[in-house]
Amino acid sequence: MATKLEYIWLDGYKPTQSLRSKTKIVKSFSGKVEDLDNWSFDGSSTEQAPGGSSDCILKPVFTCPDPGRKDAYLVMCEVLDSKGQPHESNGRAHIEDDDNDFWFGFEQEYFLWDPSTNKPLGFPANGYPAPQGPYYCSVGANNAYGREIVEEHLDVCLEAGLNVEGINAEVAAGQWEFQIFAKGAKEAGDQIWVARYLLERIGEKYGVSINWHCKPLGQLDWNGSGMHANFSNTLLRTANSEEKFKAVCEAFRPAVADCIAVYGADNDQRLTGKHETASIHDFSYGVSDRGASIRIPLYAVDHNWSGYLEDRRPNSAADPYKVAAVIIKTVKSAKI
């Protein structure tokens, strides 16, 4: 029986890459990523190659069943250049976590967007809904908008085998979040991108766009969208030391520019010091402080200073591969 393979990759658009995909039909497939062939595509159409030498290569790195199609799999790919080397747009290739010592939990926020009004679901065509407050973790038609899309997305992610740990309505009307955890930075990024792809595809069916921009409502009094990065490695998980935790946090102070460079475009619009964010111009950390750059969770304190940290600066459109890469590099630089 023929099998549909949906090869998914990131294009070369700047400052924010987009998802691309195309279907390959094979006679049979084992379900294992190592049995997948590389495939080429026209990089001149994705800002990844000139027209005179346009071939780029898709290297499969992650696969899972595709619940939205019959006899089908989703295939997340890295992009290689025509010489088989990682393309400059390939953030995954820069993750230094071959032993999967780093664990990541990403909190992916987004807006469900009505193309007919160019506003989030729940916003009237003229004017605005009631101020934010009743929408977070809400229930009921007056406060929760687009739940049918969110629930369908959750179901297909679980059917695909993605490690989604939860969903919730967020602070603004039409804003939602899902969380994905993986032991290994590369797989965490793979799963976030596949989950984003599935959400985009479900949105097509409902005629609803997915708005990943970190501040789609501008400087109005509405929360922006983040992709908070919860992370740990053996050092943090077994620290038993407040000093070690603070040493890791301090390692991020001189790396602010490197972090902000990959934490998503237009983050200055979101990291204002308001709406549960730290200012993009400052660096701070604190226990249970959602207004800090890095939050030290109560979990870590309650477990004798062992556990994980949360970097609250990455925004909703950031590339989880690049976010993970800079966090790993920074943690490894800590003077312990």
Look up the CATH number of the domain holding residue 60.
Answer: 3.10.20.70
Confidence band (pLDDT; 50, 70, 90) for 8?
Answer: very high
Could you tell me which of 32, 26, 24 has the C-alpha nearest to residue 7?
24
Shared domain for 30 and 114, answered yes or no, is: no
Q: What is the CATH number of the domain that holds 219?
A: 3.30.590.10
**pLDDT given at position 71:** 97
Shared domain for 58 and 121, answered yes or no, is: no
**pLDDT given at position 186:** 98
Shared domain for 173 and 305, answered yes or no, is: yes
**pLDDT given at position 218:** 85
Residues 153-171: tens digit of each pLDDT: 999 999 999 999 999 999 9
State which residues form the domain around 234: 103-332
Residue 148: both structure tokens together? 């049918």
Confirm whether 321 is domain-assigned. Answer: yes
- Write the CA distances from 111 to 121, 130, 153, integer angstroms: 8, 17, 14
Confidence band (pLDDT; 50, 70, 90) for 220?
Answer: confident
Give me the amino acid identity at 258. D
Tokens 């983040």 sit at which residue? 226
Confidence band (pLDDT; 50, 70, 90) for 273?
Answer: confident
Shared domain for 130 and 226, answered yes or no, is: yes
Query: Mean pLDDT lowest for which of 1-10, 28-37, 47-56, 321-330?
Result: 47-56
Locate the DSSP E strands across 81-136: 103-114, 119-120
d(CA 232, CA 308): 5
Please tell me the total count of domains within the chain. 2
For residues 70 and 140, the answer to whether their CB atoms sit within 8 Å is no
**pLDDT given at position 24:** 98
Shared domain for 167 and 107, answered yes or no, is: yes
Confidence band (pLDDT; 50, 70, 90) for 90?
Answer: very high
For residue 85, pLDDT beyond 80: yes
**pLDDT given at position 157:** 98
Confirm whether 96 is domain-assigned. Answer: no
Q: Which residues, listed in sequence order, are joined to residue 275 by a DSSP beta bridge?
A: none
Could you tell me which of 261, 273, 193, 188 has the C-alpha nearest to residue 229?
188
Confirm whether 95 is domain-assigned. Answer: no
d(CA 43, CA 189): 22
225: exposed, middle or buried (Cβ count in 10 Å: 0-12, 13-18, 19+): buried
Indicate the average pLDDT of the chain: 96
Shared domain for 172 and 306, answered yes or no, is: yes
> Domain ends where: 38, 55, 90?
90
Confidence band (pLDDT; 50, 70, 90) for 189?
Answer: very high
Confirm whether 97 is domain-assigned. Answer: no
Instruction: Please tell me the chain's helix, strand, coil percentages from 3-state DSSP, rounded to the nearest 5.
Output: 25, 25, 45
Q: Which residues, listed in sequence order, are joined to residue 295 by a DSSP beta bridge?
A: 286, 310
d(CA 152, CA 215): 25
Alpha helix segments (H runs only) across 109-231: 147-160, 185-206
- Residue 279 CA, distance from chain mean position: 21
Could you tell me which of 79, 230, 236 has the C-alpha nearest to residue 166?
230
Confirm whether 169 is domain-assigned. Answer: yes
Shared domain for 184 and 286, answered yes or no, is: yes
**pLDDT given at position 55:** 95
d(CA 61, CA 122): 38
Shared domain for 198 and 328, answered yes or no, is: yes
**pLDDT given at position 51:** 85
Shared domain for 224 and 145, answered yes or no, is: yes
Confirm whether 98 is domain-assigned. Answer: no
Residue 15: both structure tokens together? 């400052």
d(CA 336, CA 334): 6
d(CA 173, CA 222): 9
Residue 117: both structure tokens together? 């009004």
Shared domain for 302 and 325, answered yes or no, is: yes
Query: Mean pLDDT lowest for which of 68-82, 166-180, 185-199, 214-228?
Result: 214-228
Q: What is the SS3 assignment for 249?
A: helix
Confirm whether 323 is domain-assigned. Answer: yes
Shared domain for 35 and 141, answered yes or no, is: no
Omega before 15 cis (within 30°)?
yes
**pLDDT given at position 336:** 85
For residue 191, pLDDT beyond 90: yes
Could you tell me which of 125, 318, 153, 328 has the C-alpha nearest to residue 231?
328
Q: Cβ neighbours of residue 135 under 8 Å, at least 6 residues apart?
A: 122, 143, 144, 169, 170, 171, 172, 173, 175
**pLDDT given at position 18:** 97
> Domain ends where: 90, 115, 131?
90
> Domain ends where: 90, 118, 143?
90
**pLDDT given at position 52:** 83
For residue 275, pLDDT beyond 80: no
Residue 122: both structure tokens together? 């729940």
**pLDDT given at position 66:** 98
Shared domain for 83 and 205, answered yes or no, is: no
